[in-house]
């Protein structure tokens, strides 16, 4: 009898020892999913300005119209400057394309490339939900915030690892550090200027990024409007890229 | 409510909020039904000529300086009218050398009617761009001729009618499928206004995104009985490597060959194909490399005979008509390598994007090396300095071109 109890206790202890990391991982992934939900509606249209600031203080500005559907479909139309007007980019899961009006066909681009220069790369501008690309664990928890460690689900994701800070109350994202597979800090994203966008969406309206690899450079992404909107799947196809203006 | 309160608190205490150095009051660009756009290019070119070239002898006289210059203006003016269900698009190109030598081209003028979001009909003169190659497109059966030195240059379209339909799927292996059908009416050769209907050509292209790979299959069926069949693909191997390929098989292609030293047209079947990659390294350098093979191009021996025919004709002061029917496009032979390396803002040189490319003829080892350098200090303005070396033996393809060195300076203004 005693023997059986001893075995049971050992088994229970074993289960208890292995459960916490699993529970934490589940909790962390659930947290990440909620952080995603608080950042963007599942399907939306948005106008945003992107500013690349050079070390000498000069700026280059872009205006984008972006549409997203579900977890893995994003398309973006360049509205300004005139030299880039009519260009569009499309992301379907891990696939990305760029359409240039003069070339008249979409060409594949990579997530690490930056079609507009500056510190933001394509995956920053055409971002999918974090929970689609990363698995999360909780690194640290204080009274006010969570610090999550995000590990890329596969090799085609632009950053191998992210370190993410989110306020506990409201699960609002405040900062992300992006690391390479060799654990080198590639860039830091700071989320600022909380704004009411309507339809219950309250989130940071400015994302500022800087990188030790681009000393003195800074890029800003300013969300002007974000509105929930449903789109047919066919909007997110290569053939529709020249026609994106029809959606506005 | 909690979120809003939290937001307001966060905003009020955040030092980042206090340190704001940008305006959040940004107007959204209004949608316009009719939109005008375009660019004006001022292009100044200095050329070192090659007087021994037979092509130079055809075009120029003997007593010219070895150095020539050219200054021209090119205006690209576009208009787009769009409503939800239809649109009209106009792309024009004007080139001006002087008051007595100016030219206007209608690059594109077409309308589209959208039966639904995924089904469209196009009517008019329109550019098609089939194939995945950057510098060459062997499967681009209805594309305009591409200049591999400047593949992004706007080109003239094709008078046609086309129908396109797209369908998306929610499964792992097939995500999108699309079909494009194009009818190409024959050129009007009767009174410059009429043509025989049996000479109408047809082209078809099917596209699918399968297992994260773009795949096209295409066909071109000519009224004269000849046909072309092709396929292409493109996929990302990693987050910074893309590979692509194109393949085409053509039947009854009119080809100029040299039999007993004389230019003779023959009908041939053959293949052409391309394999290429695009690679981005950790320093943001992009490398594009392509190999292009064209069975219908000339061999080294064909090209020597072609040059010999021109020399003979020049001596007799008469160029045979069918010498005009040379393999079209910039490249006329069978095997080429293309390599382009571009590096945005090297050594912290702001707004400066240099690149270097080469088109290397593997048969006769002649080559073109160009190094366009773009400087864009402000939005909507670019300055491009573009030296080009065109070199090879006298009887080689690029070594027989009428110029050996070229310096271009372009000023480009967008609106």
Predicted confidence at residue B165, as pLDDT, reads: 96
Cβ neighbour number for residue B386 with a 10 Å cutoff = 19
Query: Which among B20, B39, B117 is the nearest to A234, CB-wise?
Result: B117
Start-to-end Cα distance in chain A: 75
Residues of chain B with Cβ-Cβ distance to A54 below 8 Å are 350
Res. A20 pLDDT band, cuts 50 70 90 = very low
Helices (H) and strands (E) in chain A, counts: 3, 13
Q: Please indicate whether, in this complex, the C-beta atoms of A234 and B166 are within 8 angstroms of each other.
A: yes
Instruction: List, for residues B257-294, the tens digit of each pLDDT value.
Output: 877 777 788 888 999 999 999 998 878 899 999 999 99
Residues of chain B with Cβ-Cβ distance to A47 below 8 Å are 28-29
Predicted confidence at residue B7, as pLDDT, reads: 43
Q: Is the pLDDT of residue A19 over 70?
A: no
**CA B135 to chain centroid:** 7
* Closest CA of chain B from A155, distance in Å: 7
Res. B24 pLDDT band, cuts 50 70 90 = low
* Closest CA of chain B from A51, distance in Å: 10
Residues of chain A with Cβ-Cβ distance to B130 below 8 Å are 105
| Residue pair A168/A148 in contact by the 8 Å Cβ criterion | no
Residue B220's φ and ψ, nearest 5 degrees, are -135, 125
Residues of chain A with Cβ-Cβ distance to B415 below 8 Å are 82
Q: Please indicate whether, in this complex, the C-beta atoms of A196 and B4 are within 8 angstroms of each other.
A: yes
* Closest CA of chain B from A167, distance in Å: 10
Q: Is the pLDDT of residue A124 over 60?
A: yes
Q: Please indicate whether, in this complex, the C-beta atoms of B214 and A104 are within 8 angstroms of each other.
A: no
DSSP 8-state class, residue B298: B
Cβ neighbour number for residue B132 with a 10 Å cutoff = 25
| Residue pair B401/B390 in contact by the 8 Å Cβ criterion | yes
| Residue pair A150/A134 in contact by the 8 Å Cβ criterion | yes
Res. B329 pLDDT band, cuts 50 70 90 = low
Q: Please indicate whether, in this complex, the C-beta atoms of B31 and A61 are within 8 angstroms of each other.
A: no
Query: Which among B8, B82, B244 is the nearest to A245, CB-wise?
Result: B82
Task: Indicate the Cα dihedral angle B313, B316, B320, B326, nearest 10°.
Answer: 10
Predicted confidence at residue A10, as pLDDT, reads: 63
Average pLDDT estimate for A59-80? 91
Residues of chain A with Cβ-Cβ distance to B37 below 8 Å are 82, 85-86
| Residue pair B270/B250 in contact by the 8 Å Cβ criterion | yes
Q: Please indicate whether, in this complex, the C-beta atoms of B114 and A56 are within 8 angstroms of each other.
A: no
Q: Please indicate whether, in this complex, the C-beta atoms of A108 and B235 are within 8 angstroms of each other.
A: yes
Closest residue by Cα to residue B14 from A205, A215, A33? A205
Query: Which among A107, A113, A190 is the nearest to B280, CB-wise?
Result: A113
- Name every residue whose Cβ is closer than 8 Å to that of residue B197 and which is 6 or more positions away in sequence: B186
Nearest CA in chain B to A86: B37
Nearest CA in chain B to A80: B29
Query: Which among B170, B242, B350 is the nearest to A110, CB-wise?
Result: B242
For β-strands A106-109 and A134-141, DSSP reports them as unpaired
Predicted confidence at residue B71, as pLDDT, reads: 96
Predicted confidence at residue A53, as pLDDT, reads: 85
Q: Please indicate whether, in this complex, the C-beta atoms of B117 and A114 are within 8 angstroms of each other.
A: no
What is the share, in percent, of chain B residues with pLDDT greater than 90?
A: 59
Closest residue by Cα to residue B329 from B372, B366, B298? B298
Cβ neighbour number for residue A125 with a 10 Å cutoff = 23
Q: Is the pLDDT of residue B8 over 60?
A: no
Q: Please indicate whether, in this complex, the C-beta atoms of A233 and B170 are within 8 angstroms of each other.
A: yes
Q: Please indicate whether, in this complex, the C-beta atoms of B4 and A104 are within 8 angstroms of each other.
A: no
| Residue pair B327/B145 in contact by the 8 Å Cβ criterion | no
Res. B4 pLDDT band, cuts 50 70 90 = very low
Q: Is the pLDDT of residue B13 over 80?
A: no
Average pLDDT estimate for B46-66? 87
Res. B14 pLDDT band, cuts 50 70 90 = very low
The CA distance from A34 to B12, in Å, is 24
Q: Please indicate whether, in this complex, the C-beta atoms of A108 and B278 are within 8 angstroms of each other.
A: yes
Query: Which among B7, B82, B376 is the nearest to A246, CB-wise?
Result: B82
The CA distance from B259 to A120, in Å, is 59
Residues of chain B with Cβ-Cβ distance to A102 below 8 Å are 152-154
Query: Which among B134, B350, B379 is the nearest to A54, CB-wise?
Result: B350
Cβ-Cβ contacts under 8 Å between A and B: the total is: 175
Residues of chain B with Cβ-Cβ distance to A94 below 8 Å are 212, 236
Q: Please indicate whether, in this complex, the C-beta atoms of B22 and A155 are within 8 angstroms of each other.
A: no
Nearest CA in chain B to A46: B28
Most confident among A103-112, B165-174, B190-199 (mean pLDDT): B165-174
* Closest CA of chain B from A64, distance in Å: 9
Q: Please tell me which residue, A125 or B15, carries the higher pLDDT value.
A: A125
Q: Is the pLDDT of residue B47 over 90?
A: yes
Q: Please tell me which residue, B65 or B13, carries the higher pLDDT value.
A: B65
Tokens of residue B233, six digits? 């693909």
The CA distance from B249 to A58, in Å, is 52
Mean pLDDT, all residues of chain B: 87
Backbone torsion region of residue A154, taken as left when φ is above 0, otherwise alpha when ψ lies between -120 and 50, otherwise beta: beta
Query: Which among A172, A196, A224 is the nearest to B28, CB-wise?
Result: A224
Instruction: List, for residues B86-112, the tens digit of each pLDDT value.
Output: 999 999 999 999 999 999 999 999 999
Tokens of residue A19, six digits? 């459960």
DSSP 8-state class, residue B347: G
Q: Please indicate whether, in this complex, the C-beta atoms of B10 and A240 are within 8 angstroms of each other.
A: no
Res. A9 pLDDT band, cuts 50 70 90 = low
Query: Which among A38, A117, A195 is the nearest to B344, CB-wise?
Result: A117
Q: Is the pLDDT of residue B178 over 50?
A: yes
Q: Is the pLDDT of residue B314 over 90?
A: no
Predicted confidence at residue B208, as pLDDT, reads: 96
Q: Is the pLDDT of residue A233 over 90?
A: yes
Average pLDDT estimate for B323-333? 63
Residue A133's φ and ψ, nearest 5 degrees, are -100, -15
Lowest mean pLDDT of B5-9, B29-33, B129-133, B164-168, name the range. Answer: B5-9
């Amino acid at each position: 009898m005693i023997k059986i109890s001893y075995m049971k206790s050992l088994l229970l202890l074993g289960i208890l020892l292995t459960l916490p990391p699993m529970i934490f991982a589940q909790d962390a992934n659930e947290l990440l999913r909620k952080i995603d939900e608080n950042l963007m509606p599942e399907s939306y249209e948005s106008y945003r300005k992107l500013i690349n600031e050079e070390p000498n203080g000069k700026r280059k500005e872009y205006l984008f119209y972006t549409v997203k559907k579900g977890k893995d479909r994003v398309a973006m139309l360049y509205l300004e400057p005139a030299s880039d007007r009519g260009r569009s980019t499309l992301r379907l899961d891990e696939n990305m394309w760029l359409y240039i009006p003069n070339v008249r066909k979409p060409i594949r681009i990579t997530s690490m490339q930056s079609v507009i220069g500056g510190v933001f790369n394509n995956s920053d501008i055409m971002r999918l939900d974090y929970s689609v690309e990363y698995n999360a664990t909780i690194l640290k928890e204080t009274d006010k915030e969570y610090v999550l460690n995000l590990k890329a689900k596969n090799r085609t994701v632009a950053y191998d690892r992210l370190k993410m800070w989110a306020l506990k109350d409201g699960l609002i994202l405040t900062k992300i550090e992006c690391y390479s597979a060799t654990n080198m800090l590639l860039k830091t994203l700071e989320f600022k200027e909380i704004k009411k966008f309507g339809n219950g969406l309250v989130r940071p309206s400015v994302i500022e990024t800087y990188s030790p690899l681009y000393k003195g450079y800074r890029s800003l992404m300013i969300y002007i409007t974000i509105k929930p909107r449903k789109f047919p799947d066919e909007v997110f196809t290569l053939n529709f890229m020249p026609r994106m203006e029809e959606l506005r | 409510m909690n979120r809003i309160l939290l937001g307001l608190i966060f905003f009020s205490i955040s030092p980042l909020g206090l340190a704001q150095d940008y305006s959040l009051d940004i107007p959204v660009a209004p949608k316009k039904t009719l939109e005008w756009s375009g660019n004006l290019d001022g292009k100044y070119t200095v050329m070192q000529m090659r007087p021994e070239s037979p092509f130079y002898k055809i075009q120029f006289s003997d007593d010219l300086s070895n150095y020539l210059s050219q200054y021209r203006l090119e205006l690209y003016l576009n208009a787009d009218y769009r409503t939800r269900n239809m649109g009209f698009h106009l792309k024009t190109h004007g080139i001006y050398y002087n008051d007595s030598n100016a030219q206007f081209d209608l690059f594109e003028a077409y309308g589209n009617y959208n039966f639904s979001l995924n089904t469209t009909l196009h009517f008019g003169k329109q550019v098609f761009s089939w194939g995945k190659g950057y510098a060459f497109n062997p499967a681009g059966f209805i594309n305009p001729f591409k200049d591999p030195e400047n593949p992004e240059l706007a080109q003239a379209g094709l008078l046609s009618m086309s129908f396109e339909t797209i369908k998306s799927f929610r499964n792992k292996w097939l995500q999108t499928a699309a079909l494009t059908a194009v009818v190409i009416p024959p050129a009007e050769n009767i009174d410059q206004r009429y043509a025989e209907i049996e000479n109408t050509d047809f082209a078809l292209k099917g596209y699918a995104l399968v297992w994260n790979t773009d795949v096209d299959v295409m066909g071109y069926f000519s009224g004269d009985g000849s046909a072309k069949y092709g396929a292409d693909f493109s996929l990302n191997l990693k987050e910074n490597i893309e590979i692509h390929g194109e393949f085409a098989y053509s039947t009854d292609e009119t080809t100029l060959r040299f039999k007993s030293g004389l230019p003779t047209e023959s009908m041939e079947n053959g293949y052409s194909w391309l394999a290429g990659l695009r690679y981005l390294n950790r320093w943001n350098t992009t490398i594009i490399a392509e190999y292009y093979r064209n069975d219908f191009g000339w061999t080294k021996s064909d090209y020597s005979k072609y040059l010999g025919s021109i020399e003979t004709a020049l001596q007799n002061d008469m160029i045979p008509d069918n010498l005009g029917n040379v393999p079209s496009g910039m490249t006329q032979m069978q095997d080429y390598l293309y390599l382009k390396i571009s590096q945005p803002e090297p050594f912290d040189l702001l707004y400066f994007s240099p690149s270097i490319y080469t088109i290397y003829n593997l048969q006769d080892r002649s080559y073109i090396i160009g190094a366009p350098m773009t400087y864009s200090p402000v939005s909507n303005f670019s300055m491009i300095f573009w030296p080009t070396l065109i070199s090879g033996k006298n009887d080689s393809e690029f070594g027989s071109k009428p110029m050996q060195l070229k310096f271009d300076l372009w000023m480009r203004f967008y609106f």
